[in-house]
Amino acid sequence: MTLEQHHRPCLPENWDRQTRRLSICASGRRRPISEEVGDRAGLATTLNNIGLVYRKLGQTGQALEYYERALPIREEVGDRAGLATTLNNIGLVYRKLGQTDKALEYYASRAPPIREEGGRLRAERMTLNNIGLVYRKLGQTDKALEYYERALPIREEVGDRGGLATTLNNIGTVYYANNDLEKALSYFNQALPICQDIGDRDGESLTRWWLGVLHRAEGRLQNACDELRQAVKLAEYVQSPSVEQIRKNLEEVEAELANQ
């Protein structure tokens, strides 16, 4: 089970409409307009977005190629926020490939905290959360918690409620893995109303899934069943790739209830 969809790289606006246009650029049939007119900053953004298209298509090698092409241009034009975003995207690809050391290199060594007057940029809280994900995958739960908890106040400060819910859920999963179910429940319960308030059905589905799993672990099968039924409906609505696993968990709990 993963909450990872909340940690996907920054997608360009109007993603669905841009995918085909960016794919045309990526295929070499057309040069990006930004390159034709000498817009270096725009070119870096386009290269980064083409990388996102390739990542969405599962072509990680091509994605890395375009991210790496964007990096020196973002350095050249002084786009520190864009640089950190691209570094985060590269780190995410390496994490997906299981190359955690390489992911940490991009997250921690090459993407240091970046601030702007009056607040912290999204790249900083993305980096902290992503480093937490890597340590979680490595089984280093104390380090994962350290980075998640550093991300938490930043997300609160800047009003990033979606990111806040994600980090709360991530902290909950660490406590669940550590068998501290009471603390895990506390964090999932904090995340749930945020997901509902902002209309994040994907996040709500995942949160209810975790709540169902937790209730089952503590023997509250009816509560688990209620949460998982709602999780399935939400997952079906957003066409989540996790829907089959959630449905399987629900069927298992229903069978346990029937045998009581």
Burial of residue 196 (number of CB atoms within 10 Å: 0-12, 13-18, 19+):
middle
CATH no. for residue 152?
A: 1.25.40.10
Mean pLDDT of the chain: 81
pLDDT at 75: 85
144 in any annotated domain: yes
Q: Are residues 186 and 204 in the same domain?
A: no
231 in any annotated domain: yes
Tens of pLDDT, residue by residue over 32-60, are 444 443 578 889 999 999 998 888 888 88
**∠ CA 103-109-110, rounded to 5°:** 85
> Where among 140, 165, 190 does a domain terminate?
190
Give the domain range for residue 214. 200-260
Provide the domain count of the chain: 3
Higher-pLDDT residue of 152, 226? 226
Structure tokens at 124: 């900083």
> Where among 165, 190, 215 does a domain terminate?
190
CATH no. for residue 260?
A: 1.20.58
Whether the predicted pLDDT of 107 surpasses 50: yes
pLDDT at 91: 86
In whole angstroms, give the CA distance from residue 203 to residue 189: 13
36 in any annotated domain: yes
195 in any annotated domain: no
* Contact (CB, 8 A) for 55 and 93: yes
For residue 84, the SS3 value is helix
> Where among 190, 212, 236 does a domain terminate?
190
For the packed helices 40-56 and 60-77, what is the interaxial angle rounded to 10 degrees? 160
Tens of pLDDT, residue by residue over 122-151, are 666 677 888 888 888 888 899 899 889 988
212 in any annotated domain: yes
* Secondary structure element (H or E) that encloses residue 195, with its range: helix 181-197
Please tell me the pTM assigned to this model: 0.69
In whole angstroms, give the CA distance from residue 92 to residue 32: 25
In whole angstroms, give the CA distance from residue 79 to residue 146: 28
Mean pLDDT of 212-241: 96
104 in any annotated domain: no
Q: Are residues 32 and 126 in the same domain?
A: no
Q: Are residues 184 and 215 in the same domain?
A: no
CATH no. for residue 38?
A: 1.25.40
Q: Are residues 3 and 47 in the same domain?
A: yes
